[in-house]
């Protein structure tokens, strides 16, 4: 729209120049009113006709300008009047020849080479039909040929600079649009850098889309990467009836907006259900929207909706440039907030785990150690005291084990295979003091590629199996073999101790405070895996666990 107005303004200035040419071209006729030319009509009457046409064109130049631009055929009427004026004023000897060229120049200016050719062709036909008969008596063939040549050469000559002018105007318009885009992006960048929080960033993005780009209404919503939800809806200008929906999960069945965000496809809304929220969907369906998903590299940031009326390819291009800048600002802010939140949680978990380890765990270990010493020093006759101390030692050991498990649950997610083996060694050593107990490790595959939840699950199962071996097998060592394949995890813990009856061990009711073989078996089956216990008295024990990675990673 803006481009057409600017083009019309430039065309109007050219039209004014042509009006001035009209007035200048009748000056020769004014001096030749009594020069003896062969006028069919009285020279004064002919001059009055030309003068009247000039006055009419001068008064209504703006309207005539728009009429010629929108309806080029209107130029034919002017050519007809000019040819008639030549015929009435002596044909080849007419003083109005320059005047007759003005509509041809207009055709060349407004419509370039095509306008010059058609205007010259029409004028030539009219010249041959009206002017040539009026010039036969003079017999001046050279004047006729010269005038016909001028009818073609002058418009074609003027068509070339007109083409250049049009090209310059179009280039100027494109440069002006590009400059405007850069101004908007620069202003938006400065505003976003100064925004103190995510809400302020949203507001400034919406302000740029509406105030700067001229769209009547815009809506933006943001993605929560931790919960994988779309929320934080904002509209500008503010609307009293705009609903504030709860966060919506990023699943394609939740509407076209979510589907667009997941597939990164832009679209213009029709009557399809945009979002599976009744109030918000009803509000959005009042308008047609141009929907643009916002992405920062491969990360979804949010979604931008712009009221579709007045959308042109040029405005769409500018909008996409602003949308990309908005995605960068919003995405950077969201990722910073998410990273800060994760860091705060990780820091607090480490602090709590460190505090428990440095205080409660050490105190419990000290209690256990002291009770061992007291038991060894008691005289044999103090059986009652000895029994109480043994029970107290058992309770302290249980509390110590549970504290260690709580510490591990608070560990950060980066549990490597090295930490896995080191902590199991320390844990088992504390379970069988003062007797020594060693673990022979064997691992294959990429343990570090597993999710943090799955790594914790494997650790807890290995921990329980090794603790049972250290406490009850009577052996001095155990073997742990861990294999991670593309589909499954294989954990095998074995010893050469005194063994037991698996049926009896698995059927016993286990203490709820302990993980236990029975609890381990139920946990493995819940994760879709397989649990096998091979043992018999005097023949050692082997615990074999298989966990599927893809099911297990999701539920672990």
How is 86-133 classified by DSSP, letter by letter? HHHTTGGG-TTHHHHHHHHHHHHHHHHHHHHHHHHHHHHHHIIIIIHH
The Cα-based distances of 274 to 47, 281, 290 in angstroms read: 70, 6, 12
Check: CB of residue 231 under 8 Å from CB of residue 248.
yes
Confidence of residue 67 (pLDDT cuts 50, 70, 90): confident
pLDDT single digits (tens) 461-493? 898 888 888 888 888 889 999 999 988 999 999
Range 158-183 average pLDDT: 73
Give the pLDDT score at 38.
61
- Based on DSSP, count helices (H) and strands (E) in the chain, helices before strands: 19, 11
- Per-residue HEC secondary structure of 252-294 comes to HHHCHHHHHHHHCCCEECCCCCCCCCHHHHHHHCCCCEEEEEE
Tell me which of 147-161, 247-261, 504-518 is least confident: 504-518
The Cα-based distances of 383 to 288, 319, 373, 379, 388 in angstroms read: 88, 87, 15, 8, 9
Range 156-184 average pLDDT: 74
Helix (H) or strand (E) holding 163: helix 141-194
pLDDT single digits (tens) 256-277? 999 999 999 999 988 778 898 8
Confidence of residue 3 (pLDDT cuts 50, 70, 90): very low
Give the pLDDT score at 106.
83
pLDDT single digits (tens) 406-460? 665 555 556 788 888 888 888 777 666 566 788 999 999 999 888 877 888 898 8
Q: For residue 167, is pLDDT > 50?
A: yes
pLDDT single digits (tens) 298-326? 888 889 999 988 788 877 887 888 888 77
Q: Would you give the DSSP letter of residue 413?
A: S
Q: Which domains are delineated in the chain?
A: 2-174 (no CATH), 193-337 (3.30.450.40), 413-556 (3.30.565.10)
Helix (H) or strand (E) holding 342: helix 313-356
- Classify each residue of 104-116 as buried b or exposed e, where b means 16 or more C-beta atoms within 10 Å of its C-beta: bbbbbbbbbeebb
**C-alpha closest to that of 428 among 416, 410, 445, 440:** 440
Instruction: Decide: residue 190, CB within 10 A, 0-12 exposed, 13-18 middle, 19+ buried.
Output: exposed
Instruction: Decide: residue 266, CB within 10 A, 0-12 exposed, 13-18 middle, 19+ buried.
Output: middle
The pTM score is 0.42
pLDDT single digits (tens) 14-30? 667 778 888 888 888 88
Give the pLDDT score at 555.
41
Rounded Cα–Cα distance for residues 176 and 19 (Å)? 30
């Amino acid at each position: 729209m803006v481009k057409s107005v600017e083009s019309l303004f430039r065309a109007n200035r050219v039209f004014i120049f042509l009006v001035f040419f009209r007035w200048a071209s009748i000056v020769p006729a004014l001096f030749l009113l009594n020069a003896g030319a062969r006028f069919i009509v009285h020279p004064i009457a002919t001059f009055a006709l030309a003068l009247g046409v000039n006055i009419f064109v001068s008064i209504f130049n703006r309207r005539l300008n728009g009429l010629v631009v929108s309806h080029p055929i209107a130029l034919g009427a002017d050519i007809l009047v000019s040819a008639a004026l030549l015929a009435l004023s002596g044909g080849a000897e007419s003083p109005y020849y320059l005047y007759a060229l003005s509509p041809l120049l207009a055709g060349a200016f407004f419509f370039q080479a095509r306008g010059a050719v058609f205007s010259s062709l029409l004028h030539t036909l009219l010249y041959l039909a009206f002017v040539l008969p009026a010039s036969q008596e003079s017999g001046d063939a050279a004047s006729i040929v010269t005038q016909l040549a001028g009818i073609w050469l002058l418009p074609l000559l003027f068509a070339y600079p007109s083409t250049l002018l049009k090209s310059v105007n179009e280039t100027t318009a494109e440069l002006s649009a590009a400059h405007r885009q850069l101004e908007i992006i620069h202003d938006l960048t400065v505003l976003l850098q100064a925004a103190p929080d995510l809400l302020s960033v949203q507001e400034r993005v919406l302000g740029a889309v509406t105030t700067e780009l001229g769209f009547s209404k815009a809506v933006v919503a943001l993605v929560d990467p931790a919960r994988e939800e779309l929320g934080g809806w904002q509209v500008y200008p503010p609307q009293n009836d705009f609903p504030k929906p709860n966060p919506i999960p990023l699943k394609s069945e939740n509407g076209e907006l979510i589907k667009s965000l997941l597939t990164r496809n832009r679209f213009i809304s029709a009557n399809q259900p945009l979002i599976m929220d009744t109030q918000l969907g009803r509000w959005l369906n009042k308008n047609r929207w141009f929907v643009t998903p916002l992405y920062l590299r491969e990360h979804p940031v949010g979604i931008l909706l712009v009221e579709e009326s007045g959308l042109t390819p040029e405005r769409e291009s500018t909008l996409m440039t602003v949308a990309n800048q908005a995605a960068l600002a919003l995405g950077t802010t969201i990722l910073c907030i998410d990273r800060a939140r994760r860091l705060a949680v990780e820091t607090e978990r480490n602090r709590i785990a460190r505090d428990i380890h440095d205080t409660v765990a050490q105190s419990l270990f000290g209690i256990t150690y002291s009770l061992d010493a007291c038991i060894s020093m008691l005289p044999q006759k103090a059986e009652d005291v000895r029994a109480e101390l043994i029970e107290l030692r058992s309770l302290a050991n249980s509390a110590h084990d549970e504290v260690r498990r709580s510490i591990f649950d608070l560990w950060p997610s980066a549990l490597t295979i090295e930490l896995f083996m080191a902590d199991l060694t320390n844990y088992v050593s504390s379970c069988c003091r003062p007797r020594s107990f060693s673990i022979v490790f064997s691992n294959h595959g990429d343990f570090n590629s597993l999710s943090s939840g799955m790594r914790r699950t494997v650790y807890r199962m290995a921990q329980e199996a090794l603790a049972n071996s250290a406490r009850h097998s009577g052996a001095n060592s155990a073997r742990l073999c861990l294999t991670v394949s593309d589909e499954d995890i294989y954990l095998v813990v074995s010893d050469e101790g005194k063994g037991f009856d698996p049926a009896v061990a698995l059927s016993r009711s286990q203490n709820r405070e302990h993980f236990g073989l029975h609890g381990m078996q139920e946990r493995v089956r819940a994760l879709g895996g397989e649990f096998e216990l091979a043992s018999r008295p005097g023949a050692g024990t082997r615990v074999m666990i298989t966990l599927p990675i893809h099911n297990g990673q999701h539920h672990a």
